Amino acid sequence: MISQEITDVLMAPVAILLEPKNAQSIYYQFTALVIAIGAYFYTRKKTDKLQSVGLIGWLLPKDILTHPSAMTDYGYFIVSQMLAASIYGSIIISSAAWEQGAAGLLTSVFGPAGVGVGSSHWITLICTLLLLIVIDAAVWWAHYMFHVVPFLWEFHKVHHSAEVMTPITALRMHPVEQLADALVVGLVTGVVIAIIRYSFGSGAMFFSVFEINLFTAGFFVIGHNLRHSHVWIRYPYWLQHILICPAQHQIHHSRSPRHWDKNMGIVFSFWDWAAGTLYAPKHYEQLEYGLGTQEDGTWRGVGTLMFRPFRQSFQVLARQWAERAKRPGKPERAAPPDAERQPLVRTEGE
């Protein structure tokens, strides 16, 4: 029993690459590769550089894959996935538990559910799409909070401190943020499913593939893993107001101040459009990645990514408490340690 648990922990980094329900699985990596090859042949005649480096040299650039930041990603990926499998992965409340609790609450407040509607492909399609939209909104909100709340930003820095991007960079997330995201998604998924089933009755079914929402799987197929890469894929300007394209997420990682706190959506971009955080490029933009502060180049090593956020988030809270002590009754948001980079709420005039 114990030996099996140890094996599961050691194999966790491999399992996440083999399970189709995970966005970083080799299956979605393959579809991203196909799209990247198409992008190469589409653009190579327009760029002399692409012709000189060749397909393999462009797909697998040595300067990116061997960069110290990328090397940190590889080590952090192994450690973080083993940590998730051994410790906090087991304490996340599942969506099924939230669904059961929400269903009980609905019944106690509004009484037993009615007959509802009969099942049909159209009802199933609507329920599947509705679930995706609500979950995406919740993930956008959680992402937004990790940008605008200084205490949370210290943990989100782990992801944004990457100086080059590969598909593995998507998993460069601090355990505190991973826990928060999982709890938000579990809660929202469970509650929304309970409401849908209470409202639609037997008609409340969902299309799924590989144990995930059908539309989510489709989103993974169409180049999700290129979001964290050097491959620039830009949707038409109008479509960027509906769906987040790889180029928009690459801009989200840009160290340039004009790109900070933009494009926080995962699937849909209309949340950013409504919030004023949308950035839709009309042409190719040369990007450099990182925080855009004096901390760039210092977020290297697994230990740094794991433990530095705790120290710096404590410093943020300490300053906040000190400010409150000086001004009783008028609490103010504390500035982050890297004061050169201001939170979104203080950069609206950009």
Per-residue tokens: 151? 């205490």
Using an 8 Å Cβ cutoff, are 127 and 181 in contact? Answer: no
Using an 8 Å Cβ cutoff, are 142 and 184 in contact? Answer: yes
Range list of H helices, 87-241: 95-110, 121-148, 150-160, 175-200, 214-221
**Stated pTM of the model:** 0.86
Report in angstroms the alpha-carbon separations of 243 from 52, 188, 202. Answer: 33, 21, 31
Per-residue burial over 276-313, b if 16 or more Cβ lie within 10 Å, else e, is ebbbbbeeeeebebbbbbebbeebbebeebbebbeebb
Helix (H, G, I), strand (E, B) or coil at 254: strand
Residues of the chain with pLDDT under 50: 330-337, 339, 345-350
Per-residue burial over 117-150, b if 16 or more Cβ lie within 10 Å, else e, is eeeeeebbeebbeebbbbbbbbbbebbbebbbbb
143-29-216 Cα angle (round to 5): 50
> 101-107: long-range contacts (C-beta < 8 A, 24 or more apart)?
101/190, 102/190, 102/191, 102/194, 102/195, 103/194, 103/197, 103/198, 106/194, 106/195, 106/198, 107/198
172: left (phi over 0), alpha (psi -120 to 50) or beta: beta
Report in angstroms the alpha-carbon separations of 140 from 4, 45, 263. Answer: 37, 37, 9
Query: Residue 322 and residue 343: Cα distance in Å, rounded?
Result: 20
HSE of 122 in the Cβ direction (CA atoms, 13 Å)? 2
Query: Residue 256 and residue 262: Cα distance in Å, rounded?
Result: 11
Query: Residue 247 and residue 149: Cα distance in Å, rounded?
Result: 25
Query: Residue 33 and residue 11: Cα distance in Å, rounded?
Result: 24
The pLDDT of residue 247? 96
